[in-house]
Amino acid sequence: MLAILLLFVRTLVALAQEGPSAQIMIVGFDHLNQLYNKQPQSDVYSPKKQAELTKLNDCLETYAPDMILVEVDPKEQGRIDSLYQGYVTGKLSLTDIEEGRGETFQIGFVLAKRLKHKRIYCADHYEATSQSLLAEGENIEIFRQGLQQLQGLARPLKKRVQQDSVSLYDYITRLNQPDLIMFTHRLFYNLPAAVMDGEFSKTATNTVDVRNVDKRYIGAEYISLFYNRNLKIYSNVLRYQRQYQGKRLLLMFGVTHVGVLQELYRANPHYKLVSPLSYCP
C-alpha cells in the first residue's frame, strides 16, 4: 500500500513539473442581451455601446486566444457554425441574428473574425436553475440575505449601464474583479449548505428532475444542481482543448459560473489561469 501511495505522489509531482499545456482566460458576463430594456441607450447596438464593446474586444484580442468557447450547448454547434460563416462572409450582420445582442455574438463572433478563427466552440451544458428555487428551510435567511446583498450591488450597477452612466467596458471589468467573483461563488456554492429541512419552489424555473432530492439537505442539493452543470461545462472544455490542441483558450460565461470554473482549473496542472484584468485593466 505504501509503495502504491508513493508512486501516486511521484506521478502527481511529475505532472506538476511538466507545467501547463494551455492557458485559459475565463471572462464573466451579465448577459449583454439582457441589458436591453427598450430604451435606446440600453441597446448594445447604440453607437456609444458599440464603441465600448470595441474597446473590450481590442483588449481581449491582445490575449490572442486560439480557441473561443461560449455559453451555448454543443447541440447548437451546427447552428452557430452556420451563423458564424454567414457573418464572416458578410452574408449576415449581427442585427440579422435574433440573439445577436448577446456576448456570444458581440464578443465571440467579432473577436473570432478578427483573429481569423474557423469557428467558435459551444461549451455549455444547458440546465436552467433559478436563484429562487431554494425557497424555504432552516436557516433560509442566510441565503436570502446573501441574495439581497448581491441584488443590492448588481441591480443599481446594471441600471447605470442601461442609462449610459457606466460604460460596458467598465461594467465587465467590475464583474471580473476577484472580490465580486468570490462573493458570487460563495453565494451559490457555499452559503446554501446551511439551509436544511426545506423545500424547493414549485414555480421557480428548473429543468432538472428534483423529485428525489434529500430534503434534509435541501441547500446542499441546491448547490449540487449548479455544480453539476459546471462540471459538465468543464468536461466540454477539456474535450475541445484536447481535440483541437488549443494553447490559449478564452471562455465567456455568465459571472455565476466563473468562480467554480476557476476552482476546477486551478486544481488541474495542465492549465494556467489568466486573469482578464491582466489585459483589460
Domain boundary (223, 243, 261) is at 223
Distance CA 245, CA 21 (A): 9
Same domain, 148 and 215: yes
Q: In whole angstroms, what is the distance from residue 232 CA to residue 230 CA?
A: 5
**DSSP-assigned letters across all residues of 118-174:** S--EE------B-GGGEEEEETHHHHHHHHHHHHHHHHHHHHHHHTTSS-HHHHHHH
- Residue 103's CATH number: 3.40.50
Q: Which residues contact 244 (CB under 8 A, 6 or more apart)?
A: 67, 121
Cβ neighbour number for residue 133 with a 10 Å cutoff: 23
Confidence at residue 224, expressed as pLDDT on a 0 to 100 scale:
97
Q: Is residue 10 part of a domain?
A: no
**CA–CA separation, 69 vs 268, rounded Å?**
18
Tell me whether residue 236 is in a domain. yes
Largest Cα–Cα distance of the chain, in whole Å?
A: 68
Which domain, by its residues, includes 218?
Answer: 131-223
Which tens digits make up the pLDDT trace of 129-177?
Answer: 999 999 999 999 999 999 999 999 999 999 999 999 999 999 999 999 9
Residue-level pLDDT, tens digit, the chain, 281 residues? 665 655 555 654 544 456 679 999 999 999 999 999 999 999 999 999 999 999 999 999 999 999 999 999 999 999 999 999 999 999 999 999 999 999 999 999 999 999 999 999 999 999 999 999 999 999 999 999 999 999 999 999 999 999 999 999 999 999 999 999 999 999 999 999 999 999 999 999 999 999 999 999 999 999 999 999 999 999 999 999 999 999 999 999 999 999 999 999 999 999 999 999 999 99
Q: Is 5 within a domain? A: no
- 15 within a domain of the structure (yes/no): no
Bridge partners, residue 272, by sequence: 23
Report the first-to-last Cα separation within the chain, whole angstroms: 50
pLDDT digits (tens, 9 = 90+) for 16-45: 456 679 999 999 999 999 999 999 999 999
In this structure, the answer to whether residues 148 and 196 fall within a common structural domain is: yes
Q: Give the model's pLDDT for residue 8.
A: 57
Percent of the chain at pLDDT > 70 equals 93
Calpha distance 254→125 (Å, rounded): 13
Q: Are residues 270 and 212 in the same domain?
A: no
Domain boundary among 176, 208, 223: 223
Place of cell 459560473: 257
Instruction: List the grid coordinates of 270.
Output: 495542465
What is each CA distance from 184 to 151, 179, 259, in whole angstroms?
Answer: 11, 9, 8
